[in-house]
Structure 1
Amino acid sequence: MLYVQKKNEDLSRGAFDLTTQMLRMNPEFYTVWNYRRHIFIQGIFPNSSPAAINELLSEDLGLTAAFLKQHPKVYWIWNHRRWCLEQVPDGPLDEDKDGWRMANWNKELFLVEKMLDVDPRNFHAWNYRRYVLASIPVRRSQVSELSYTTRKIESNFSNFSAWHQRTKVLASLWQAGELNVAQSREDELDLVKNAMYTDPDDQSVWIYHRWLIGDGDDPLLLQREIASIQELLDEQPDSKWCMESIVYYKTLLLRRHLSTMDTSVQQSLVGECFDLLSKLQYVDSNRKQRYIELSDEIKNTFL
C-alpha cells in the first residue's frame, strides 16, 4: 500500500503515519525514510507554522532515539537525525532559533555519549559525534574532547574509533598551536606503548602508532621506536604486529634516509626485514603471499 501511495505522490498525513508504522517494523527501510522526508518538505511543512515544524522535528528526534536503542548501527536512523537538526525554519522564531538549536545539539551530544557508554566502539556513533561537535553553535573545547578519548581508550585499548577520533583532535590542536607538537607526540607514544604491551595483537594500537610516526622524517625517532618494538618482540616472539611494524619502520628508514647510510647498514636492515618476513610466512600463513611480495619489493628496491 505504501508503495502505491509513494508512486501516486501522496503527501497526506495518512501516508506520513503509514511511514511511521513501517519504520517501527523495520527502521532499515531507507526508501521509507526518504518518502517520509518528502512528505515533510512537500506536504506538511508548507502548511505548518515554524513552531509546529519544530514540534514535528522534535517528535522525529524522539522517534529515532527510541529506534537507536534497538538498532544502534543502522545508518538511516542516524542520517534522519542529521536531517531533522538541519531543518530549523526561518521566520518568526528567528529570535529563538539559536536557543532551540543549542538545546537540541546539547541533547544530541548527551544522546551520543550515552550510546558510546553502551558500546564505545560504535563507529556510527563516533561519526555522529564528530558531526555534532562540528555543528554545535558553541564549540566544545578540543582539549576536553581529547580527555574524552583518553577515558574511552583507557577503558578499552581496542577502541579503534576512539583512537581515530584522537587523531582528528590532536591534528586540530597541533594546527591551532594549542599543544606543543613534540611534547604531546612523546606523551602519545608513551600512551600507545602502554597499549602495545597490554595487548600486542590489537591492530588499532599499531595503526595509531604509525600515524604518530608519520612520514619518518626523524631517523632517531624511527630507530628508537624500532628498538622499543624489538624489546616487545623479544617478550612476544610470535607477535605478528611487532614483526610487521619492525619491517614497516625499517623499510621506511631505508626509503627516507638511504643516502645517509653506509652500505653495510643498508644491507643489515634489508637482511633483518627478510628474516622477519620469512618468519611471518609461518606465523601468519594466510597472508604468506603478501609477505613474499613484500620481500621481493624490498629486494628490487634496495639491493
Structure 2
Amino acid sequence: MHGVKRVQYSKEVLEARKQRDQARLKDYLALYEQVFQKRKNKDFSQDAFDSTTNILRMNPELYTIWNYRRNVMTNGIFPASDPSKVNDILSDDLSLTFALLKEHPKVYWIWSHRMWCLEHVPDGPTDDQLKGWKTTNWKKELFVVEKMLDADARNFMAWNYRRYILGNMDPPPPPSAELTYTTKKIEANFSNFSAWHQRSRVLMSLWKEGKLDEKTSKQTEFELVQNAMYTDPDDQSVWIYHAWLIDAGEDTALLRREITSIQELLDEQPDSKCTVYGVACPIQEAHFGEAFGQLGP
C-alpha cells in the first residue's frame, strides 16, 4: 500500500515463519483426515464432537463438517443428555459461532448453524423453563446481529439473519422499532442498500396489514430519500429505493412533483449519471400516464 513502509524480514525470520506454516498445515491435514474418517465410521461420540470443534476453528467453511457435527449432536450427544444439558450445549455452539463470525462474518455455514441451534432448543421440563430458554435465546440473537451490523452495516448475510430472528421472536418487536433501526443505519451511510431493502420490506408489511397509512408514510420516505439524493446524488442504493417508492406512477401528482424535484437536482449536478436516470424514470411513467389520459393538461 502507498505510504506504508515495507518491512524487511531477515532470512531467519522468514524461515521460522515458513516452518510454522508448514507445521500448521500438517496438523490441519492430519485432523482433516481424522474427522472425515470418524464421519465415515458414523462415530457420534464426544471425541468426534470435539474433533469437529477443532477443525471448524481452523476452517469454518467446511459445510460437510457442520453437517456431521449436527449428526453427532442429534444421534450421539442429545439422546444421552437431559433438556437442560442440551440447552447448555446449544448455547456453547452459539458462543462458538459468534467467535467464528467475528473473523468470518460472511461465511453462510456459520449463520446456518446458528439457525439450527435456535430451532433445536429442547422442550423444557416445565413450560415456563421452555419459554424462558427460547425467549432468552431470541433476544440474545437480536443483540448479536446488531453487533455484527455495527461492525459491517452492509453485511447482507447479517441482514438476512436479522429478518430470520425478527420473524421468530414471540412477541416480535414493534415495527416502529425496525423503522427506527433502519433510519439509523441509512443516515449513517446512505449507500447501505441492505438497510434500504429492509426498510421497504417493513413498510410493505405495514401497508398490507393496514397498520400504517401508505400515503402519509410515503411522504416521509420521499423526504428521507431526497435528503440522501442531495447528499450523494450518485449513490445507486438511493435511486433504487426512490424508484420503488414511485410505484409505477399510480399517483400522477407525485410523479410531477418528483420530476420537478429531481430536475432541480440535475441542474445542480449536470454530470450525475444517476440523477439523469432518476429523472428519466418518473418522466417515462408520466408519459405512460398521459398516453392513457391520466395526467390531463
Q: Work out the CA distance in 1 between the residues paired with 2:124 and 2:118.
A: 16
User: 1:194 and 2:227 equivalent?
Assistant: yes
Q: In the alignment, residue 39 of structure 1 is paired with which amino acid?
A: V
- Once the two structures are superposed, residues 39-66 of structure 1 have per-residue CA deviations (whole angstroms, 9 ceiling, x without a partner) of 1111211221111111100110110111
User: 1:132 and 2:165 equivalent?
Assistant: yes
Displacement of 1:83 in angstroms is 0.5
**Among 238, 247, 250, which residue is 1:217 paired with?**
250
User: 1:73 and 2:106 equivalent?
Assistant: yes
User: 1:50 and 2:90 equivalent?
Assistant: no
Contact 2:186 2:196 in 1 (8 A): yes
Contact 2:124 2:130 in 1 (8 A): no
1:20 aligned residue:
53
Contact 2:84 2:124 in 1 (8 A): no
Displacement of 1:8 in angstroms is 1.8
Distance of aligned partners of 1:92 and 1:251 in 2 relative to their CA distance in 1, 3 Å threshold: same
**Among 22, 35, 38, which residue is 2:71 paired with?**
38
Q: In the alignment, residue 161 of structure 1 is paired with which amino acid?
A: S
Displacement of 1:221 in angstroms is 1.2
User: 1:112 and 2:145 equivalent?
Assistant: yes
User: 1:146 and 2:179 equivalent?
Assistant: yes
Displacement of 1:227 in angstroms is 1.6
Distance of aligned partners of 1:91 and 1:180 in 2 relative to their CA distance in 1, 3 Å threshold: closer
Contact 1:50 1:89 in 2 (8 A): yes
**Among 83, 103, 116, which residue is 1:83 paired with?**
116
Q: Work out the CA distance in 1 between the residues paired with 2:291 and 2:251.
A: 13
1:241 aligned residue:
274
2:25 aligned residue:
none
Contact 2:246 2:282 in 1 (8 A): no
Q: Work out the CA distance in 1 between the residues paired with 2:82 and 2:208.
A: 44
1:294 aligned residue:
none
Contact 1:50 1:93 in 2 (8 A): no
- Once the two structures are superposed, residues 148-179 of structure 1 have per-residue CA deviations (whole angstroms, 9 ceiling, x without a partner) of 11111111111111111111111122223332
Q: Work out the CA distance in 2 between the residues paired with 1:38 and 1:179.
A: 45
Structure 1 spans left out of the alignment, 5+ residues: 266-303
CA-atom RMSD in angstroms:
1.6
SS of the residue 1:154 aligns to: helix
Displacement of 1:183 in angstroms is 1.2
1:178 aligned residue:
211
Q: In the alignment, residue 108 of structure 1 is paired with which amino acid?
A: E
Q: Work out the CA distance in 2 between the residues paired with 1:156 and 1:91.
A: 43
- Once the two structures are superposed, residues 172-198 of structure 1 have per-residue CA deviations (whole angstroms, 9 ceiling, x without a partner) of 222233322111101110110010000
Distance of aligned partners of 1:261 and 1:114 in 2 relative to their CA distance in 1, 3 Å threshold: closer
Q: Percent of aligned pairs with the same residue? A: 58
1:285 aligned residue:
none
Structure 2 spans left out of the alignment, 5+ residues: 1-33
Displacement of 1:256 in angstroms is 4.1
1:268 aligned residue:
none
Q: Work out the CA distance in 2 between the residues paired with 1:99 and 1:261.
A: 57
2:22 aligned residue:
none
Displacement of 1:14 in angstroms is 1.2
Please give the TM-score of this superposition, normalised by the length of structure 1.
0.83
